[in-house]
Each structure stands twice: as C-alpha cells, then as structure tokens.
Amino acid sequence: MTVLQVEGLRFAYPDGTQVLDGVDLVIGAGERVALLGPNGAGKTTLILHLIGVLRAAAGSIRVGGVELADDSLSEIRHKMGLVFQDSDDQLFMPTVQQDVAFGPANFGMKGAALSERVVWALTAVGERDLADRAPHHLSGGEKRKVAIATVLAVESEFLVLDEPTSNLDPAGRRELVVLLASLPATQLVVTHDLPFALELCARAVIIDGGRIVADGDTFALLSDRDLMSRHRLELPYGFDPANIRRL
C-alpha cells in the first residue's frame, strides 16, 4: 500500500526563488526512506508541505490515500507525525506523560484509554519510567525518544523525522537506530548523517535544486562518488559504506 504520494509539487518564495520544482515521490507502507541533500536543496520545505504548513503552487500530496487539503488537514496530521530536529520545540508540558497525552487528548481521547495510550507509547520507546519527569531535565537522547512517543501516541502510521541524530552522543545515536528499526511505522528520515541513513534506511532519495535527482538503494547511492560530488554530499573521512551493518 502507498503511504505517501507526492506528484508534481512546486513551490516558490514571494521573491520568485523556486524551492520545489516538480517533486515526485512515492513511499510504500513499512519503508524507511532517507531524504538526503545539501543545505538549501528543499528538504525542509518539502516536509513543511507534507504537514500542511506550506501550500504548493502546483502538485498534490496524498497520505494514506487522503489528499492534503484544508478539510483533510486534521486527518492528515493524525496519519503523519513529525519529530522535530530540536526536541525542545516538541516538548512543552510540565511532565513527560502530559506531553505524550497532548496529541491523543486533542483528538478526543480521555480517561483510562488516554492513560493506557501514554503508557503504551512510552513503553514502545523504552522510557516508561520517565512519565513523571520534567522534559527539560532529560538528556538529549531521552528527549528524542519522548518526542517519538508523542507521535506514536496518536497512532501515526507515517513518521517524518527531521535530523533525528542532531545533538546526540554516540550511545544516544545507537539507541535511536535500534528504536527506529524496531518500529513498524513507515518513516521518512531527513538527515545529513549519511552513516545513520545507511544503517537505518534501505532506500534513499536525494533532493537538490528542488528536484529528486536520485532514488534507490542507499548503499549504491552513497558508493557513487560522482553522484555524491555533484550534489555536495560527503561521507565522513575514512568511512567505508561496506563496513556498516544495515538493520
């Protein structure tokens, strides 16, 4: 089943700068797809379109078969959860359990069902014991997992993660890889961390100049030196893609 279908998406800023120039993208259920590209390529603009913050001049977006429009925005945001690059932008309540409960409560869940959903979401990310903690007292890795729990709590079938390894130490990064690999939800992972993309995502899409310029096996794309050079993508010094164990 197709979870995301983007067709002919075009968007320009008021000054005429073309940011998306005919983006086509299809993601199937259960896929984990890395969205790669240099700064200014259109990655953030694309995900802001997916959640309805920006509206395209042309083209269409469908999530779970539902076309994005004013009257379907609530349904789209129920189907798709965005995990922000900065977890502090996502966690704003006095306690972790209140943050995780916020989304499902807004969709009408209450009482025992809401409490059970919070426990389920925190258990899914391995952080049930954090329920009564204040989010601003958590480590970076704990905050990232709680942020993921907030979108799992509304039973999002499609997760969009913006630079999920940002500000994580090596142990937090490793825990995040294991967690995301364990989740059944379809995932679009926007990242500059190319080893992370290779480890987690079998498929990668490269966007540059507002267009999808490559779409295929992550290992094959990252091993193509000419492709990487043309689109200003660089692996860490001495890194060999062949050494990564893919999940």
- Find residue 217's DSSP bridge partners: 203
Contact status, residue 9 vs residue 48, Cβ threshold 8 Å: no
Contact status, residue 153 vs residue 118, Cβ threshold 8 Å: yes
Predicted confidence band at 191 (pLDDT cuts at 50, 70, 90)? Answer: very high
Q: What is the pTM of this model?
A: 0.91
Tell me which residue of 189, 202, 157 sits closest to 65, measured CA to CA. Answer: 157
Rounded mean pLDDT, 220-236: 94
User: For 3-7, 69-73, 98-102, 186-190, which range has the lowest pLDDT when averaged over its residues?
Assistant: 69-73
Contacts (Cβ under 8 Å, ≥6 apart) of 88: 135, 136, 143
- pLDDT, one tens digit per residue, over 231-240 is 999 988 888 7
- Please say if the pLDDT value at position 247 is more than 70: no
- Please say if the pLDDT value at position 78 is more than 90: no
State how beta strands 203-208 and 32-36 pair.
parallel
List Cα–Cα distances, 233 to 194, 195, 229, 230, in angstroms.
9, 12, 6, 8
Q: How many domains does the chain have?
A: 1
Task: Find the CATH number of the domain harbouring 104.
Answer: 3.40.50.300
- pLDDT, one tens digit per residue, over 88-127 is 888 999 999 999 999 999 888 999 999 999 999 999 999 9
Q: Could you please report the per-residue DSSP string of 54-68?
A: S--SEEEEEETTEEP
Side chain identity at residue 37, one-letter code: G
Range of the domain at 106: 2-243
- In whole angstroms, what is the distance from residue 88 CA to residue 81 CA? 16
